């Protein structure tokens, strides 16, 4: 187990567990968390022992209540802010990971909380989860990818409605919108996430990585290009084994 200040990172049986750990501030995303998350994501990406990772929030009340409002817009200047962003592109790193990532969401899932969840591949919510994008009310737009990742998951109209109205949605509605894959009881949240993670972990990690890339990268291509990508990725297995390339 690696304990940072505001993130707990554990490795167990091929599964990485990332816990946002500022429960007293509803796991609000601050600069410290950004720096620690950057290190943890790098470890998940590079560590061959990690096959899949689960993201969750510490405490009873929240996965993450968004950006830390006490640090809000405190960067000294847009130039410095941009430089920091280039040096620590957490969101680019998140989206570049080809291992499956699972978000286990409970309580408040706001702003950057949703954005972290959107960088994951499978989202599970407990019945008490509440989702919202409060950015416009704060006079800003999301900056951790939500304007791009959200419409790719729930479609343009629902993404626009969520962002432009700032209306909070329940776990049930999030499921209806396909923002989350499943809604489970709070007690079942981690066990269900672990069940999925173990199943994925037991597959060949290269096949898993190619499957993730084929879908995620393919969605940004037209059908013809997407099929080319699939052919290219599946072609890597040609000649290796009939089982690996059954089609
Ligand atoms: N940044 C920093 N601290 C935060 C926070 C945030 N985004 N969200 C909650 N906290 C802190 C509160 O300041 C409070 O700290 P305190 O106990 O030292 O006073 C603690 O977390 C508990 O929050 P509180 O507001 O008392 O709980 P609540 O149940 O009354 O309300 C929320 C919960 C989520 C509705 C409310 O905290 C909230 O609106 N947070 C801000 C959400 C937001 O706008 N995020 C930014 C998105 S870009």
State yes or no: pLDDT of 77 exceeds 70.
no
Tell me how far the alpha carbon of residue 18 lies from the centroid of ligand 1, in angstroms: 21
pLDDT band at 79 (very low <50, low <70, confident <90, very high): low
User: CA-to-CA distance for 156 and 177, rounded, in angstroms?
Assistant: 11
Q: What is the pLDDT of residues 11-23, one digit of tens each?
A: 999 999 999 999 9
Q: What band does 246 get if pLDDT is binned at 50, 70 and 90? A: very low
Question: Is position 115 annotated as part of the catalytic site?
Answer: yes
**Spacing, Cα 85 to ligand 1 middle (Å):** 24
Question: 71, 87, 135, 242: which is the annotated catalytic residue?
Answer: 135
Indicate if 173 belongs to the active site. no
Our answer on whether the CB atom of 25 is closer than 6 Å to any ligand 1 atom is: yes
Round to whole Å and give the CA distance between 120 and 140: 24
Judged by average pLDDT, the poorest of 85-89, 183-187, 226-230 is 85-89
> Residues 155-182: what's their mean pLDDT?
98
Instruction: Say if CB 34 and CB 84 are below 8 A apart.
Output: no
H/E/C letters for each residue in the chain? CEECCCEEEEEECCEEEEEECCHHHCCCECHHHHHHHHHHHHHHHHCCCCCEEEEEECCCCEEECCECHHHCCCCCCHHHHHHHHHHCCHHHHHHHCCCCEEEEECEEEECHHHHHHHCCCEEEEECCCEEECCHHHHCCCCCCCHHHHHHHHHCHHHHHHHHHHCCCEEHHHHHHCCCCCEEECHHHHHHHHHHHHHHHHCCCHHHHHHHHHHHHHHCCCCHHHHHHHHHHHHHCCCCCCCCCCCC
Residue range 113-128: mean pLDDT, rounded: 98
Q: pLDDT band for position 72 (50/70/90)?
A: confident
- Our answer on whether the CB atom of 134 is closer than 6 Å to any ligand 1 atom is yes
What Cα–Cα distance (Å) separates residue 120 from each residue in 102, 150, 190, 238? Answer: 6, 12, 15, 29
Query: Minimal CA–CA distance to 104: which of 181, 160, 8?
Result: 181
Q: Would you mind telling me the total number of residues written for the chain in this entry?
A: 247
Ligand 1 centroid to residue 20 C-alpha, Å: 15
Catalytic residue, from 5, 49, 115, 161: name it.
115
198-226 pLDDT, tens digit per residue, is 999 999 999 999 999 999 999 999 999 99
The Cα–Cα gap between 160 and 154 comes to 10
Q: Does the C-beta of 111 come closer than 6 Å to ligand 1?
A: yes
* Residue with the larger pLDDT of the pair 108 and 3: 108
Band of the pLDDT at 238, cuts 50, 70, 90?
low
Cα–ligand 1 centroid distance for 40 (angstroms):
25
Q: Give 236's pLDDT tier (boundaries 50, 70, 90).
A: confident
C-alpha 102/C-alpha 118 separation (Å) is 10
């Amino acid at each position: 187990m690696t304990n940072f200040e505001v993130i707990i990172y554990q490795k167990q049986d091929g599964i990485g567990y990332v816990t946002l750990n500022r429960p007293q501030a509803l796991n609000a995303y601050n600069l410290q968390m950004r720096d620690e998350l950057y290190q943890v994501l790098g470890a998940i990406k590079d560590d061959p022992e990690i096959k899949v990772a689960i993201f969750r929030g510490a405490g009873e009340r929240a996965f993450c209540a968004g950006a830390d409002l006490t640090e809000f817009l405190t960067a000294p200047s847009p130039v410095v802010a941009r430089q920091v962003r280039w040096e620590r592109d957490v969101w680019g790193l998140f989206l570049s990971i080809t291992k499956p990532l699972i978000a286990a969401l409970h309580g408040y899932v706001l702003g950057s909380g949703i954005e972290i969840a959107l960088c994951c591949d499978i989202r599970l919510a407990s019945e008490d989860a509440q989702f919202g994008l409060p950015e416009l009310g704060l006079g800003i737009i999301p900056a951790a990818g939500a304007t791009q990742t959200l419409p790719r998951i729930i479609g343009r109209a629902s993404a626009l409605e969520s962002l432009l109205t700032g209306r909070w949605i329940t776990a049930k509605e999030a499921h209806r919108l396909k923002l989350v894959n499943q809604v489970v009881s709070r007690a079942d949240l981690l066990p269900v996430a672990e069940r999925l993670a173990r199943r994925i972990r037991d597959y060949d990690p290269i096949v898993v990585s190619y499957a993730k890339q084929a879908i995620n990268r393919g969605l940004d291509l037209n059908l013809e290009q997407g099929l080319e990508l699939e052919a290219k990725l599946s072609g890597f297995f040609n000649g290796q084994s009939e089982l690996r390339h059954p089609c």
